[in-house]
Amino acid sequence: MGQTAVTYEHTKKTSSHGIHKNLITLLRPNSFEAEQFKILRTKILFPFSGNPPHTIMITSALPGEGKTFVSVNLAASIAENVNEHVLLVDCDLRGPSVHQYFGYRKVRGLSEFLSDEQKLSDLFLKTDIPKLTLLPAGRPPRNPSELLSSKKMADFIDEISHRYTDRYIIIDTPPPGFTAEANVIARKVEAIILVLTCGGTHRDLITNLINLLGKEKIIGAVVNRFDMRASSYAGYGKYRQYEKYRKTA
């Protein structure tokens, strides 16, 4: 799949409709960043060889590199495609935030399911994108590593993989170098996408991450916080302004 460059606004603010302002594929579908997610979507849905992966883990080398930003916008972009449905799963039980992108506050989710407090079918949430369903992380538990490394978690991934063969499953996962459970999830998915900070993720961390997860499942990387002003894409904004002027002229 190679690399895809995107930018990321580090903020917790939401739009007037409760949707997180960084859900750009929904709020700013014609932006440069949204176009990058369309390119990423195309590379996943139409690979050069073989079949497209249906269970995709999104992770990063370090916290704060934008893995949730990528997970949410990739899921939304795929779901906005004509024929595709998506299940977005938040497996970051320590710092859940996926639900906030869709205007939800405190919600039950994967944590309650793994703790035998709720049935799985009661935890799925609808989003503003009709073909995108969300399974939030739920309440942060006292034992996230034990829950996500449990047999029930492994069985859960197997179950949704076989039950929802008609949709893509995007799994937001904490950095493997900081949490043991990410390796369990990595063994169960078909593909992995790494989120890296442009000019910020050290080469040794990337190498260690690839060795930890196994390069055979890594289909590519998203380079986050890409500075358009320092690249050949710097003129893209001027082109967009010209298009706007031409349409109103």
- Candidates 108, 105, 114; CA nearest to 136 is 108
User: Residue 71: in which H helix or E strand, if any?
Assistant: helix 67-79
Bridge partners of 195?
A: 60, 222
What is the number of domains present in the chain?
Answer: 1
Please give the model's pTM, rounded to 2 decimal places. Answer: 0.83
- Candidates 239, 149, 185; CA nearest to 67 is 185
Q: What is the CATH number of the domain that holds 30?
A: 3.40.50.300
Contact status, residue 22 vs residue 71, Cβ threshold 8 Å? no
Can you say whether residue 31 is alpha, beta or left, with left for phi > 0 and alpha for psi between -120 and 50 degrees? beta
Q: What tens digit of pLDDT does each residue of 141-167 get?
A: 999 989 998 999 999 999 999 988 889
| Domain coverage including residue 74 | 2-248
Q: What tens digit of pLDDT does each residue of 133-147 get?
A: 999 999 999 999 899
Place of tokens 């080398």: 61
Compute the average pLDDT of residues 2-30.
Answer: 64
The two tokens of residue 212 are 């930890």
Compute the average pLDDT of residues 192-213.
Answer: 81
Compute the average pLDDT of residues 235-239.
Answer: 37
Place of tokens 């993720």: 201
